[in-house]
Amino acid sequence: MLSLSCCLVLWELMSGFIYVPTQFVEFFFIKYIENLLIGLMAYLQKLEWKLHRLECQLLAKLDKERRKSVTPTIRMMVKLYLRRKLQNENVIPVTAMDNYNLVEALVSRILYMSDIDEKQLLLYAQMANLVNLILQLPNIDIKEIAENFSKFACNAHTICDSELRSLGTGLYPVISIINHSCLPNAVLVFEGRLAVVRAVQHIPKDSEVSISYVETAASTITRQKTLKEQYLFTCTCVRCNKLGQYDDIQESAILEGYRCRDNGCSGFLLRESDEKGFVCQQCGLIRNKEEIRKIASDIKALSDKALKCSSSGNLQEAIVLYKNIEKLQKEVCHPFSIILMRTWEKLLEILMQLEEWKEALAICRLTIPVYERVYPGFHPLLGLQYYSCGKLEWLEKYLALVIDFILWLLGETDDAIKSFTKAVDILRITHGTSTPFMKELLMKLEEARAEASFKLSSREDS
């Protein structure tokens, strides 16, 4: 039986890597195991190097124009076939985790031919031809390569750092056996290239382990649309089973719909049957459809401009535009809307880049109640947002220290301690406690606590 309290690692995998739970190893064996691991890592690095060298030699043979078409997905496929070749030649060992048979067993999109469009099939065929041209292996099956591309589409995972920023894509065939749920009982995180699945709630014996393939902060219709397009299935999880029921309609309207005209009312709106407007389900006020359409189109125009500004590095202008978007969205979106939440995220990102810490903290604090609502329980994104808030509060303390000594005495430290503690409570479950990222967070919490007790004792002394 799996229990939450021990922060379970269900699988730790990386092709060719071995996970050793050192806590179970007697002390006098640790050094021996360490040496063994260092030797094994060096050996695996040597094998990886052979693979990498072969890949580079083949890519170097391509003409300049063709090399431009070599996307990360194509390189992933080239690596897969080179790995199989080296394994067939006994240069790289075949293991239970690193084995082409696992790829053969993966679900393929081509199996659902009727659901996949012609253009997509043509693209897979073109990509397969390029892989064939790079590899120049005898007896290669181009149809098989095309099918493997379709397998990548529904089985590859985005590799992220500890703060869930995307680093690249990887194929982890054993992790790929895990099905999706919009209310998952586990999370997938990465420690470097190591994929780790951790339980986020008690998982009874014999029940299925699930992760989420998509952003869970979305209405049922949006989640189902993404899953259908990318993974070609209709989700029937407990959350999706509520589709069309009153609480699902309410939830979707709050997340992606409009707010009541009366600022004091927290009701959500539904479209009237005669299409004249939207009716507040709490107070009955009607909101004109044209008024909403006008604001939505203004937001769209501003968003296009803001995106251009931020991608061209004009951050000051982008801030002004995002603040205007926020103002308009507050007029039409529900306070718990994820659309407004995305604007705050964007503002936070840019303010951090501009080192506008005070404003960044104010925005980060605004996001917390929405995050708590849309990422309930042990969700890594909620933990990370508490962590960001804590870091900004911690920084705020130093700024206050410079500006005003009295403020330091009053202390921002307590807020930072609260935020760090909340972050630890969640992230120790989703990220474990042994990574450098978590060690840094735990150290920050310790430092903040030590400072708070020092301040308390100095106050008592004076």
Ligand X SMILES: C[S@@+](CC[C@H](N)C(=O)[O-])C[C@H]1O[C@@H](n2cnc3c(N)ncnc32)[C@H](O)[C@@H]1O
User: Is residue 86 at the binding interface for ligand X, with CB under 6 A as the rule?
Assistant: no
Contact present, 139 and 262 (Cβ < 8 Å): no
CA dist., res. 424 & res. 260, Å (int): 37
Longest Cα–Cα distance of the chain, Å, equals: 84
User: Is residue 154 at the binding interface for ligand X, with CB under 6 A as the rule?
Assistant: yes
User: Is residue 235 at the binding interface for ligand X, with CB under 6 A as the rule?
Assistant: yes
User: Is residue 220 at the binding interface for ligand X, with CB under 6 A as the rule?
Assistant: no
Cβ at position 235, least distance to ligand X in Å: 5
User: By CB under 6 A, what part of segment 49-68 binds ligand X?
Assistant: none
- In terms of Cβ atoms closer than 10 Å to its own Cβ (0-12, 13-18, 19+), residue 384 is buried
User: Is residue 224 at the binding interface for ligand X, with CB under 6 A as the rule?
Assistant: no
107 vs 354, beta carbon nearer ligand X = 107
171 vs 347, beta carbon nearer ligand X = 171
232 vs 295, beta carbon nearer ligand X = 232
CA dist., res. 131 & res. 127, Å (int): 6
Rg, Å, the chain Cα set: 26
Candidate segments 87-95, 225-233, 267-275, 446-454, binder of ligand X by CB under 6 A = 225-233
- The number of residues that bind ligand X (CB under 6 A) is 13
228 vs 308, beta carbon nearer ligand X = 228
CA dist., res. 385 & res. 382, Å (int): 5
110 vs 295, beta carbon nearer ligand X = 110
User: By CB under 6 A, what part of segment 175-204 binds ligand X?
Assistant: 176-177, 179-181
CA dist., res. 381 & res. 295, Å (int): 30
Q: Which of 15, 150, 155, 329 binds ligand X (CB under 6 A)?
A: 155
User: Is residue 233 at the binding interface for ligand X, with CB under 6 A as the rule?
Assistant: yes
Which residues make Cβ contacts (< 8 Å) with residue 312, sequence separation at least 6? none
Candidate segments 4-12, 70-78, 233-241, 316-324, binder of ligand X by CB under 6 A = 233-241
Q: Which of 231, 344, 378, 387 binds ligand X (CB under 6 A)?
A: 231
To 5 degrees, how large is the angle CA 129–CA 135–CA 141?
55
User: Is residue 289 at the binding interface for ligand X, with CB under 6 A as the rule?
Assistant: no
224 vs 310, beta carbon nearer ligand X = 224
175 vs 217, beta carbon nearer ligand X = 175
CA dist., res. 41 & res. 35, Å (int): 10
User: Is residue 408 at the binding interface for ligand X, with CB under 6 A as the rule?
Assistant: no
CA dist., res. 125 & res. 106, Å (int): 19
User: Is residue 374 at the binding interface for ligand X, with CB under 6 A as the rule?
Assistant: no
- In terms of Cβ atoms closer than 10 Å to its own Cβ (0-12, 13-18, 19+), residue 386 is buried
User: By CB under 6 A, what part of segment 158-177 binds ligand X?
Assistant: 176-177
Which residues make Cβ contacts (< 8 Å) with residue 358, sequence separation at least 6? 396, 399
- In terms of Cβ atoms closer than 10 Å to its own Cβ (0-12, 13-18, 19+), residue 27 is exposed
Token pair recorded at residue 318: 């982008």
CA dist., res. 340 & res. 349, Å (int): 14
User: Is residue 100 at the binding interface for ligand X, with CB under 6 A as the rule?
Assistant: no
Cβ at position 152, least distance to ligand X in Å: 11
Q: Which residue has tokens 């586990």? A: 186
Whose CA is closest to 304, among 289, 322, 292, 286?
322
Candidate segments 230-238, 276-284, 302-310, 371-379, binder of ligand X by CB under 6 A = 230-238
Cβ at position 231, least distance to ligand X in Å: 4
3-state secondary structure 372-387: HHHCCCCCHHHHHHHH
Cβ at position 175, least distance to ligand X in Å: 8
2 vs 107, beta carbon nearer ligand X = 107
73 vs 435, beta carbon nearer ligand X = 73
Cβ at position 219, least distance to ligand X in Å: 18
- In terms of Cβ atoms closer than 10 Å to its own Cβ (0-12, 13-18, 19+), residue 382 is buried
User: Is residue 337 at the binding interface for ligand X, with CB under 6 A as the rule?
Assistant: no
User: By CB under 6 A, what part of segment 107-136 binds ligand X?
Assistant: 107
The dihedrals phi and psi of 379, each to the nearest 5 degrees, come to -100, 130
Question: What is the Cα 178 distance to its own chain's centre?
Answer: 17
CA dist., res. 238 & res. 303, Å (int): 35
Cβ at position 109, least distance to ligand X in Å: 7
Residue 287 β-bridge partners:
278
Cβ at position 236, least distance to ligand X in Å: 6
Cβ at position 19, least distance to ligand X in Å: 21
User: By CB under 6 A, what part of segment 295-334 binds ligand X?
Assistant: none
Cβ at position 38, least distance to ligand X in Å: 34
152 vs 371, beta carbon nearer ligand X = 152
Task: Tell me which residues touch ligand X (CB under 6 A).
Answer: 107, 154-155, 176-177, 179-181, 231-233, 235, 237
